[in-house]
Structure 1
Amino acid sequence: MGDSAGLESSVTANFVAADSDIEASLRPTSLTDFIGQPRVREQLQLVLTGAKLRGGTPDHILMSGPPGLGKTSMAMIIASELGTSLRLTSGPALERAGDLAAMLSNLVEGDVLFIDEIHRIARPAEEMLYLAMEDFRVDVVVGKGPGATSIPLEVAPFTLVGATTRSGALTGPLRDRFGFTAHMDFYDPPELQRILLRSAGILGVDLGEEASAEIAGRSRGTPRIANRLLRRVRDYADVRADGVITRDVARAALAVYDVDQLGLDRLDRSVLSALVRSFGGGPVGVSTLAVAVGEEPGTVEEVCEPFLVRAGMIARTPRGRVATAAAWEQLGLTPPPEAAAGGIDVRVNEPPQGLFD
């Protein structure tokens, strides 16, 4: 079946809390410590408690949502709540069915298997996963051609936790095999502020209420970004201030790192500037827009665009990307009449611009 070294790592619930890595040290270790996502926490608590009362393993769990919202942390919490070990891997690492078979054969009863970006798992491994999820069994094919033999291999009962940033990319058969599906939403500024204050306590940072509110407002609704900005502001405070993070210190630090009041960074502003100044507000195809800012189309589409659309600065139309009035105003420019009125000329009879660029 091959060696699965490099494909997975195994940790226990106690290991996470003692990990010296900064990112891991900021992760919550229980559902009680997890801030935000109240609906998901309530539902997950019922799933885990019910399984423990019955003395069995919980249903397989699918976590979906944008990156940085706590899907990996939630998987670690699930293992912690169950008192079992957590095996971690990712979809792209499972290129062959043998990779998955080797991993499944090493599971102990009750283990939690976490597959990040599960929508990118290879097709042969995915088809093997179907049988493992339903019957806790895999069929290993030995040999090739007419002499190939299928050997059934029993797998210890386990709980699969899958994480995906693109739930629509999952195949129907795989999605249907999850007994519980949770969608992680973006966080409100007050929730991010609580996360920042907790992280500041762990890092030993003197963070004021006003400063935490300033950082939270620029974190794009994402805890990962909030913690990253906190560490950069801490660096600024240690070097150029007395180590205490006030609102003025936070503003000065974020200005150095090119993060504005809405959380837009240099690349976000470059995309908006190109869309407005170079293409008159659009519509323009994403590939053309990417060339204008010197980035890959995937970077613009997956990194910048989701937040700009959610902030109401870019609209996606059949003809391409269009700047809204908010985008013009963000750049200090006067929006044209059609943008100021909120109207977008779609012209569905014309071929979509950017479709072939």
Structure 2
Amino acid sequence: QTSGPVLEKAGDLAAMLTNLEAGDVLFIDEIHRMSPHIEEILYPAMEDGQLDILIGEGPGARSIKLDLPAFTLIGATTRAGLLTSPLRDRFGIVQRLEFYNLVDLTSIVRRTGSILSVGIDVYGAKEIARRSRGTPRVANRLLKRVRDFAEVRGNGMIDQETANKALLLLEVDDSGFDLMDRKLLITLINTFDGGPAGIDSLAASIGEEKHTLEDVVEPYLVQQGFIKRTPRGRVATDKAIEHFAKLNKS
């Protein structure tokens, strides 16, 4: 397992490929961040199961081919549009992973609780899962913080009430929105009258990096129907406006 930014030299990837054994899986996270000259090492490995190595320099240089054992390459990215066409087209299977549903996330939270030796009932697990933005990584992170709360301010057992109190303390609301989510939506609704607003203007208004908003904050809000991306900028949906109207009344 490695990631795109770590592979700075062609030799780094070549060393990984030559160390593979038959049936191994090579997983490259953030594969879109690999440089083009590193990608070119992968092309013959993916197509022909071979590695092209250049020996020597200048007029006397020669290329030799090394046969690689049969292996599986898996690449992961959140920015599929940044993959070069030659690399993307060489993958035999391209899949898009959606957010996890509540049932699966609840099972993940309960399993992690078992691994961490945390007492948690199904209602506590469901409360954490419901606010986890459809992402197991977020669910496990919240579980650990709720566990800390339960141990310090409770009896160590996580039920729905304990989970709710802990998550409110962490400023994670019923929809799974954290402080940055609410800040973005409230700014879009109040400062920009619901939009459209450019991402650069939004980033400047809330004091956050543009790429953080695009890669971390926005995807969940767009998927849940709270923000629309339009050619003119971001627009708050009726669902977002109604959500905060209800919060203000409560």
Q: TM-score range by the shorter chain?
A: over 0.9
Post-superposition shift, 1:157? 2.3
CA shift for structure 1 position 149: 2.3
Aligned to 1:286: 199
Listed one character per residue, the Cα deviations across residues 144-203 of structure 1 (whole Å, up to 9, x for unaligned) are: 333332232232222212222233332333233223333322111111111111111111
> Do structure 1's residue 96 and structure 2's residue 9 form an aligned pair?
yes
Q: Percent identity?
A: 55
SS in 2 for 1:139: strand
Q: Which has the higher contact order (CA 8 A, sep 6+)?
A: 1
The SS at the match of 2:229 is strand
d(CA) in 2 for partners of 1:281, 1:93: 40
Paired position in structure 1 for 2:42 = 129
Trace 1:228-243 onto structure 2 (pairs within 5 A): 228-243=141-156
Contact 1:308 1:314 in 2 (8 A): yes
Q: CA RMSD in A?
A: 1.7
Task: For 1:164-179, list aligned pairs within 5 A.
Answer: 164-179=77-92
CA deviations on 1:6-36 (whole Å, 9 max, x unpaired) are xxxxxxxxxxxxxxxxxxxxxxxxxxxxxxx
CA contact (8 A) 1:96 1:122 kept: no
Aligned match of 1:85 = none
Q: Whole-Å Cα distance in 1 between the matches of residues 71 and 81 of structure 2?
A: 25
SS in 2 for 1:264: coil
Question: What 5-or-longer segments of structure 1 have no aligned partner?
Answer: 1-87, 335-357
- Partner letter of residue 63 of structure 2? S
Look up the SS of the partner of 2:177 in the other structure: coil
1:255-266 pair list within 5 angstroms: 255-266=168-179
Q: Give the letter aligned to residue 61 of structure 2.
A: A
CA positional deviation for 1:329: 2.3
After TM superposition, what 4+ stretches of structure 1 lie above 6 angstroms from structure 2?
none
Provide the C-alpha distance between the structure 2 equivalents of 1:159 and 1:308, rounded to a whole number of angstroms: 34
**Bigger Cα displacement from structure 2, 112-121 vs 297-306:** 112-121
Match of 2:100 among 187, 193, 209: 187
Alignment of 1:82-231 (within 5 A): 88-231=1-144
Q: Following the alignment from structure 2 to structure 1, what is the Cα–Cα distance between the partners of residues 237 and 203?
A: 18
Higher helix residue share: 2
- Aligned length, in residue pairs: 247
* 2:28 aligned counterpart, secondary structure: strand
2:227 maps to a residue whose letter is: I
Distance 1:139 1:243 in 2: 58
Q: Give deviations 1:36-65, integer Å, cap 9, x for gaps.
A: xxxxxxxxxxxxxxxxxxxxxxxxxxxxxx
- Indicate conservation of the 8 Å contact 1:136/1:154, yes or no: yes
Q: TM-score, normalised by structure 1?
A: 0.66
